[in-house]
């Protein structure tokens, strides 16, 4: 099972691997540039905010990465 941290790690690593910041990747994918900001990953009441499957689909489309690529980035150990 994937955790909240795993998903966000995958997004951060996907952005980085294609030369983007998380905000730059969001903008490139046609999303609000603040969509992936670290400050928006937890709601004001302390609950985790998860990215939508639509957002993940858009960032995969804009980078050309596959879902398998994304999962690998989530699973990869920190350098």
Q: Check residue 36 and give its pLDDT.
A: 96
| Domain ranges (residues) in the chain | 4-75
Burial of 10 (0-12, 13-18, 19+ CB in 10 A): buried
Q: Check residue 54 and give its pLDDT.
A: 97
SS3 content of the chain, % helix, strand, coil (to 5): 55, 5, 40
Q: Check residue 53 and give its pLDDT.
A: 96
pLDDT in tens, the chain (79 residues): 889 999 999 999 999 999 999 999 999 999 999 999 999 999 999 999 999 999 999 999 999 999 999 999 998 666 5
Q: Check residue 2 and give its pLDDT.
A: 87
Q: Check residue 49 and give its pLDDT.
A: 95
CATH architecture classification, 4-75: Orthogonal Bundle (1.10)
Cα separations in angstroms, 45 against 5, 20, 34, 36, 50: 18, 29, 19, 18, 14
Q: Check residue 11 and give its pLDDT.
A: 98
């Amino acid at each position: 099972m994937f955790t909240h941290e795993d998903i966000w790690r995958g997004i951060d690593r996907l952005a980085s691997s294609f030369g983007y910041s998380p905000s730059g990747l969001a903008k490139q994918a046609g999303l609000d540039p603040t969509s992936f900001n670290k400050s928006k990953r937890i709601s004001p009441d302390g609950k985790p905010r998860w990215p939508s499957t639509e957002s993940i689909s858009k960032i995969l489309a804009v980078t050309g990465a596959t879902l398998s690529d994304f999962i690998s980035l989530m699973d990869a150990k920190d350098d």
